[in-house]
Amino acid sequence: MPATILVGTQWGDEGKGKVTDFVADHMDFVVRYQGGNNAGHTVLAGDQLLKLHLIPSGILYPHITSVIADGVVIDPRILLEEMDTLNARGIGTSRLVISGNAHLIMPYHLELEKVTERYLGKHALGTTKRGIGPAYADRAARIGLRVQDLFDPKIFRQKLDVALKEKNLILTKVYGRLPLEADGIVEDYMEYAGRLEPHVADTSKLLWDALRAGKQVMLEGAQGTLLDLDHGTYPFVTSSSPVAGGALASAGLGPHEVDRVIGVTKAYVTRVGAGPFPTEDTGPDGERMGERGQEFGTTTGRKRRCGWFDAALLRYAARVNGLTEVFLTKLDVLSGIPRVKVCTSYRADGRSFDDFPPHQSLFHKAEPQYDEVDGWAEDLSAARSFDDLPKAARAYVELLAELGGVKVSAVSVGPSREQTLVLA
Ligand code: GDP
């Protein structure tokens, strides 16, 4: 049975949690493949609104095994807190499986991110300051500590001492901070180890066996395509690979295991933090999208920047992820805007670009070229089929599919499961 990849096509916050919820009944495994506790899916379970920052949203369903794969960085304190919160709400976490190869976020990662962002001043990246970037940097520098190290106290201490020696020099000599003590860190992490041990397994093997046994596996990305370390708007990106290819590398699966790549696309665009955003609308329309769409970060509470749909970016996301279909979310938010704009291409330096420009300077200067179409005044939240939508809303969806060059398989008009219109 082939696996499905679910990936955001924009700068994250496309409503991926809702899509997972929609397909959950058919899934046996939901796998988180990158990022750390910076993600934040908001999911509506029954009448409960739950915010998950690290644990895959599959955890809400008793029949699903939730997996945290190799390519995720884990702050064990936060993970255990999230497990406790779920347990307190009566949601069991015994079906959570964690890869022993996943890297650990350590206290010095948090400390270092705080001081470096401050040091960068106006050039700061606007990170979530949860130590995720520094943990990925140590992973690449091969001085990271992994989940499996928790279960060998001697090795854990050795690796920690090596890392701390350098980190403390940087903290004290470069940033004038106090050094961190190894003993306290060891004590805390050994306590986490005891609680995490029953959840740790070889997740690549687990998924391989599951697929051989005909189980349904979904690999769920956090953030989005334009925040990808390689394919996003570098340097204003995340430190891992949300694109579909990243899912395979992290989960330890080959490309032939996947036959479906669902791109989650919001009916307009939002972005958190710094970086280029050609279709941003800082006027009343953008303000309206932010208010009606409640565009505030799940993890940070930060207000998101809002703007018009960008079809050039959808074409790009369709290409770099190999999307087989699009799940379009939050169409209801656009109700009441008399004329709706859609970016079809850009102009920069006197040239026209149908796609994401190949040089970042061009993207910074890109002037969006818009098609303007009629909006709709009707509230869409009660629609239950595509035909229930007003003509202008249907035409808008069809236009996005045509310009994006990818079929739209479902349209969402509200947070609940019933507010999902499946297209033939
Ligand atoms: P994610 O990280 O990609 O899951 O995105 P968010 O955490 O920003 O979640 C999107 C938010 O929008 C959540 O609060 C959802 O309940 C909500 N949502 C999802 N789909 C729709 C929709 O079609 N319409 C509206 N109005 N809200 C939606």
Tens of pLDDT, residues 321-332: 999 999 999 999
For residue 47, pLDDT beyond 70: no
Any atom of ligand 1 within 6 Å of the Cβ of 400: no
Considering only residues 46 and 302, tell me which one the structure prediction assigns the higher pLDDT: 302
Confidence bin at 198 (pLDDT 50/70/90)? very high
Residues in the chain: 424
Q: Kindly provide the b/e burial profile for residues 267-296, where b requires at least 16 CB atoms within 10 angstroms of the residue's own CB.
A: bbbbbbbbbbbbbbbeeebbebbbebbebe
Ligand 1 atom at minimum distance from 293 CA: 26
Strands 325-329 and 3-8: unpaired
For residue 196, pLDDT beyond 80: yes
Q: What average pLDDT does this structure show over 114-140?
A: 83
Provide the sign of the torsion angle of the four alpha carbons 88, 14, 407, 318, taken in this order.
negative
Ligand 1 centroid – CA 112 distance (Å): 32
Confidence bin at 25 (pLDDT 50/70/90)? confident
Half-sphere exposure of residue 417, counting CA atoms within 13 Å on the CB side? 10
Confidence bin at 38 (pLDDT 50/70/90)? confident
Residue 95: DSSP 8-state: T
Is 13 among the residues known to form the active site?
Answer: yes
Ligand 1 centroid – CA 329 distance (Å): 7
Tell me what pLDDT residue 20 has.
86
Any atom of ligand 1 within 6 Å of the Cβ of 324: no
What does the pLDDT look like over 271-289, one tens digit per residue? 988 889 999 999 999 999 9
Q: Whose CA is nearest to atom 9 of ligand 1?
A: 15
Q: What average pLDDT does this structure show over 49-63?
A: 86
For residue 44, pLDDT beyond 70: no
Closest CA to 73 of 25, 136, 16, 115: 136
Confidence bin at 373 (pLDDT 50/70/90)? very high
Residue 72: DSSP 8-state: B
Phi, psi of 317 (to 5 degrees): -65, -35
* Range picked from 7-16, 43-52, 96-105 for highest mean pLDDT: 96-105
For residue 130, pLDDT beyond 80: yes
Tell me what pLDDT residue 50 has.
73
The percent of residues above 70 in pLDDT, for the chain, comes to 96
Tell me what pLDDT residue 46 has.
61
Confidence bin at 90 (pLDDT 50/70/90)? confident
Q: For a substitution probing ligand 1, which of 272, 330, 386 has the most ligand atoms within 8 Å of its CB?
A: 330
What does the pLDDT look like over 176-194, one tens digit per residue? 999 999 999 999 999 999 9
Burial bucket for residue 360 (CB in 10 Å: 0-12, 13-18, 19+): middle
Ligand 1 atom at minimum distance from 8 CA: 3
Confidence bin at 248 (pLDDT 50/70/90)? very high
Any atom of ligand 1 within 6 Å of the Cβ of 69: no
Confidence bin at 301 (pLDDT 50/70/90)? confident
| Range with the poorest average pLDDT among 87-91, 182-186, 258-262 | 87-91
Tell me what pLDDT residue 311 has.
97
Ligand 1 centroid – CA 338 distance (Å): 23
Q: What average pLDDT does this structure show over 2-30?
A: 92
Any atom of ligand 1 within 6 Å of the Cβ of 56: no
Tell me what pLDDT residue 24 has.
83
CA 269 to CA 360: how far, in whole Å?
A: 19
CA 42 to CA 423: how far, in whole Å?
A: 24
Tell me what pLDDT residue 1 has.
79
CA 214 to CA 250: how far, in whole Å?
A: 21
Considering only residues 51 and 45, tell me which one the structure prediction assigns the higher pLDDT: 51
Ligand 1 centroid – CA 18 distance (Å): 6
Any atom of ligand 1 within 6 Å of the Cβ of 415: yes
Helices (H), 97-229: 107-120, 132-141, 153-169, 182-196, 203-212
Confidence bin at 43 (pLDDT 50/70/90)? low
Q: What average pLDDT does this structure show over 343-353?
A: 95
Cβ–Cβ under 8 Å, residues 346 and 357: yes
Tell me what pLDDT residue 298 has.
66
Cβ–Cβ under 8 Å, residues 232 and 226: yes
Task: Give the chain's mean pLDDT.
Answer: 93
What does the pLDDT look like over 390-415, one tens digit per residue? 999 999 999 999 999 999 999 999 99
CA 280 to CA 366: how far, in whole Å?
A: 12
For residue 49, pLDDT beyond 90: no
Q: For a substitution probing ligand 1, which of 329, 389, 416, 420 has the most ligand atoms within 8 Å of its CB?
A: 329
What does the pLDDT look like over 58-81, one tens digit per residue? 898 999 999 999 999 999 999 999
Q: Cis ω on the peptide bond leading into residue 179 (within 30° of 0)?
A: no
